[in-house]
Chains A and B, each alone.
Chain A
Amino acid sequence: MTRAFLAILRRDLALASRAGGGGELALVFFLTIVVLVPFALGPDLNLLSRIGPAILWLGALLSVLIGLDRLFQADEEDGSLDLIRASVLPLELAVLAKGLAHWLTTGLPLALAAPLLGLLVALPPEAMLPVAATLLVGTPALSFIGAGGAALTAGLRRGGLILPVLVAPLTVPVLIFGVSAANAALGGTIPFLTPFLILCALSLAAIVIGTLAAAAALRQAE
């Protein structure tokens, strides 16, 4: 069973790294958003550094959403999902492996790139690590909430359109606590750990609920 789990994980990582796999798409999209915002806002460094964490979080959220529709749809179209259904691995664990691979190829690179991109939104140096940390623990929630939505739309031909509408409202709590934890790191009255620990809890809950929901949706696919 471990072998099947690792096989799915390794295959999805390999697919993301091959040409056209879309592994870099999220990162490039994130970079584009964060680079464009300062141009749109104008040269007000104070404003920029005040809303910097929010920009990074919004950018991360949209970047995770952008490639999400292919998470299960690609497997459904080419029949790989039938293979996964026929596997010795319970569907929940297969979803967990796919969600984990999705996070490793989107959420993790975004969190690692965040300190660098923080420079572009005039983030103070002492806030860079905390902001990256909030993205590190918050993006798994985005991947797994998204996995639930992606599983629901796997069988739809135009699922790519409906997916963000479906998933975005569910990510609001993650966005709120992610940004408030990042803002707490910039100073303020609430200690950093309060929203940060809630963010951790949201991620853990999303991993469980998203996995179960996606597996249930895939079982009912047609």
Chain B
Amino acid sequence: MTPFSYPALTLSAETLGCRRGGRLIFDGLDFRLGNGEVIALTGRNGAGKSSLLAMLCGRLRPDAGTIRVEGAPEAPATELIHLVGHRDGLKTALTARENLAFAQALLGGDALSAAEALAAVGLPHVAALPVGYLSAGQRRRVALARLLVSRRPFWLLDEPMAALDLAAQSMLTGLMRAHLAQGGAILAATHGPLGLDGARELRIGP
């Protein structure tokens, strides 16, 4: 069996501008994210890191500039992107397995099954528990398991290390390394180190 690898793709943003509540947050932002690359998005609180991620996933419309995917097999950018943000997209009344199975059906590109993904993030025992019963760190790990159930080249992570213990942080670093080795790309808004070599820093604001 040959190992999976993503086709050549580049996510690029040109002269991106963001205005929230009438106030200019950032302007003229450019970046290119290609296969196997990592960008660590930094900036002080309120600099617009989450807003940039929201633009890339299609929730916010850019006030200036364009977002493009080059070399895409006729798919819009939103279908190539995985977002794990502050709002983790988990339904508290559903079990971890149901949440992941839902995400898999919705996002397509099947990779691991829900049970395998939960095992990969070290939570095989919570599969049948409603997510509402889990701790903040466990919830975060279930949300991260979503990255594994469905195969998408661009991972957009908002503070991925938040609420994770040390073991889980190194687990996540391992997952990110495996994703990069397959030709995936990562854009992570972060205040701390990601533990990845070759991460470029993209700083928003002063």
Contacts from A to B (Cβ < 8 Å): 3-4, 6-8, 11, 14-15, 18-21, 77-89, 220-222
B58 within 8 Å of A (CB atoms): yes
Q: Say whether B88 contacts A78, CB under 8 Å.
A: yes
Give how many B residues have a beta carbon under 8 Å from the other chain's beta carbons: 29
Q: Say whether A7 contacts B93, CB under 8 Å.
A: no
B195 within 8 Å of A (CB atoms): no
Q: Say whether A20 contacts B89, CB under 8 Å.
A: no
> In the complex, how many angstroms separate the beta carbon of B51 from the nearest chain A beta carbon?
9
B125 within 8 Å of A (CB atoms): no
Q: Say whether B106 contacts A84, CB under 8 Å.
A: yes
Which A-chain residue is minimally distant from B106 (CB atoms)? A87
Q: Say whether B89 contacts A21, CB under 8 Å.
A: no
Q: Say whether A19 contacts B106, CB under 8 Å.
A: no
Which B-chain residue is minimally distant from A7 (CB atoms)? B105
Which A-chain residue is minimally distant from B82 (CB atoms)? A86
B98 cross-chain contacts in A, Cβ below 8 A: 11, 14
Q: Say whether A89 contacts B106, CB under 8 Å.
A: yes
Q: Say whether B105 contacts A6, CB under 8 Å.
A: yes
Of A18, A82, A85, A89, which one neighbours B87 at CB under 8 angstroms?
A82
A80 cross-chain contacts in B, Cβ below 8 A: 89-91
B108 cross-chain contacts in A, Cβ below 8 A: 3-4, 87-88
Known: A85-B58, A86-B107. 14 other contacts (CB 8 A): A4-B105, A11-B98, A14-B93, A15-B94, A19-B93, A21-B93, A78-B89, A78-B90, A85-B57, A85-B59, A86-B81, A87-B106, A88-B106, A222-B59
Among A78, A82, A86, A89, the one with the most B-chain Cβ atoms within 10 Å of its Cβ is: A86
B103 within 8 Å of A (CB atoms): yes
Interface residues of B in 81-104 (CB under 8 A from A): 81-83, 85-94, 98, 101-103
Q: Is the interface of B mostly helix, strand, loop or mixed?
A: loop
> In the complex, how many angstroms separate the beta carbon of B111 from the nearest chain A beta carbon?
15
Which B-chain residue is minimally distant from A74 (CB atoms)? B91
Of B57, B79, B91, B93, which one neighbours A82 at CB under 8 angstroms?
B57
Q: Say whether B90 contacts A8, CB under 8 Å.
A: no
Which B-chain residue is minimally distant from A17 (CB atoms)? B93
Q: Say whether B107 contacts A87, CB under 8 Å.
A: yes
Of B60, B86, B88, B102, which one neighbours A222 at CB under 8 angstroms?
B60
> In the complex, how many angstroms separate the beta carbon of B37 from the nearest chain A beta carbon?
21
> In the complex, how many angstroms separate the beta carbon of A215 from the nearest chain B beta carbon?
13
Question: In the complex the two chains form, what is the Cα distance from A207 to B118 in whole Å?
Answer: 38
Which A-chain residue is minimally distant from B104 (CB atoms)? A7
B5 within 8 Å of A (CB atoms): no
Interface residues of B in 41-86 (CB under 8 A from A): 54, 57-61, 78-79, 81-83, 85-86
Question: In the complex the two chains form, what is the Cα distance from A103 to B28 in whole Å?
Answer: 46
A4 cross-chain contacts in B, Cβ below 8 A: 105-106, 108
Question: In the complex the two chains form, what is the Cα distance from A19 to B91 in whole Å?
Answer: 13
Indicate with 1 or 0, residue by residue over B104-136, a CB within 8 angstroms of chain A CB atoms.
Answer: 011110000000000000000000000000000
Q: 7 A-B Cβ contacts within 8 A?
A: A11-B98, A18-B94, A78-B87, A85-B57, A86-B78, A88-B79, A88-B106
Question: In the complex the two chains form, what is the Cα distance from A142 to B12 in whole Å?
Answer: 43
